[in-house]
Amino acid sequence: MIQDFNRERIRRIFIGITGICLISSCVSTRNVTYFQDLSAAKRSEVEAVAKFTEPVIQPDDILSITINTTDPQSTAIVNQPSTTILTYGTFRQDITGFIVDKNGEIKITQLGTVKVGGLTTFEARERITKLARKELKDPAVSVRFANFKVSVLGEVNRPGSYNVSNEKVNILDVLSLAGDLTIYGKRENITVIREQNNKKEIGRLNLNTTDIFNNPFYYLKQNDIVYVEPNKAKVISVNAGARTTAAVLISAISTIVLIFTRLN
């Protein structure tokens, strides 16, 4: 009777410890789903009210500028931008465009020096069009960023720096480029690091609620850095010492149970 009681007690202890070890290594699904407060009844009612402000051109930006007329030969010389090599760690990218210098100016063949720093791409297009009309007939000008870059770090499937062709880009667009969050990503605390006027600004975004659509950091700006923090499950999973201790403990208990079983 006593031996049976001891065996049963040891068996329960072993099952309990094994369960704790397994639970500690599992990922909670409670915070995995996006927009948890978005019920079927209110899906058509959610409005994005975060204010979008057009990015302005800054020194070291690269602009893609094209001038078209009814005579393609007359603009062939104008449309000759330089190629810039950008390096992000081991990643290299060649970008063709007009580089904005430290004075906020670009140099366009035949048109001369154009001040574009502090302007939106729309305002820069208007300024270049005005100058082009002096040299060309009925010019059609397009201006966009060639190096609108956003970096994504942390618990995403494809971390890295991404060039975005659309200026109106939001946090969901960029996370999709990075392959979405891993199962270990902390969805309730996405950090956005932004530099404006030589000052760092930090924003926090919660993907679990629809409040994200009202967040001023919902829309990203060029050179923003997005960081996805790992959750507790990831911290536990990378703790090799803890895993080794748990494995040794389970092995030791298994050995003890086996010995008591053989003795009885």
Question: pLDDT of 87-112, one tens digit each?
Answer: 545 555 567 789 999 999 999 888 89
Mean pLDDT over 8-28 rounds to 52
Three-state DSSP class for residue 177: helix
**What does pTM read for this prediction?**
0.68
Q: Which of 148-157, 224-233, 255-264 has the lowest mean pLDDT?
A: 255-264
pLDDT band at residue 233 under the 50/70/90 scheme: confident
Structure tokens at 94: 């060649």
Q: What angle do CA 70, 167, 100 make, to 5 degrees?
A: 70
**Residue 83 falls within a domain, yes or no?**
yes
Q: Are residues 73 and 183 in the same domain?
A: no
**Residue 57 falls within a domain, yes or no?**
no
Q: What is the number of H-type helices and E-type strands within the chain?
A: 6, 11
Q: Are residues 162 and 47 in the same domain?
A: yes
**Residue 33 falls within a domain, yes or no?**
no
Three-state DSSP class for residue 188: strand
CATH of the domain at 200: 3.10.560.10
Q: Are residues 141 and 152 in the same domain?
A: no
For residues 98 and 65, the answer to whether their CB atoms sit within 8 Å is yes
Q: Are residues 174 and 47 in the same domain?
A: yes
Q: Are residues 158 and 123 in the same domain?
A: no
pLDDT digits (tens, 9 = 90+) for 166-210: 889 999 999 999 999 999 999 999 999 998 878 899 999 999 988
Q: How far apart are CA 121 and CA 79, in angstroms?
A: 17
**Measured CA distances, 100 to 64, 91, 117, 149, 225 (Å):** 11, 23, 7, 15, 22
Q: How far apart are CA 68 and CA 70, in angstroms?
A: 7
**Residue 101 falls within a domain, yes or no?**
yes
Q: Are residues 70 and 102 in the same domain?
A: yes
Residue 261 pLDDT > 70: no
Residue 227 is which amino acid?
Y
Q: Are residues 45 and 158 in the same domain?
A: yes
**Measured CA distances, 245 to 27, 241, 242 (Å):** 20, 6, 5
Q: Are residues 120 and 157 in the same domain?
A: no
Q: Are residues 47 and 152 in the same domain?
A: yes
Q: Given 128, 145, 162, which residue is the final one in a domain?
A: 145
Q: Are residues 155 and 48 in the same domain?
A: yes
**Measured CA distances, 180 to 70, 105, 123, 184, 192 (Å):** 45, 37, 34, 11, 16
* Residue 214 DSSP code: G
Share of the chain above pLDDT 70, in %: 63
Between residues 245 and 92, the one the model is more confident about: 245
Q: What is the pLDDT of residue 25?
A: 46
Q: Number of folded domains in the chain?
A: 3
pLDDT digits (tens, 9 = 90+) for 33-89: 777 766 654 555 555 568 888 999 999 899 999 888 887 766 665 666 655 555 545
Mean pLDDT over 107-127 rounds to 93
CATH of the domain at 93: 3.30.1950.10
**Residue 35 falls within a domain, yes or no?**
no
- Domain range for 92: 62-145
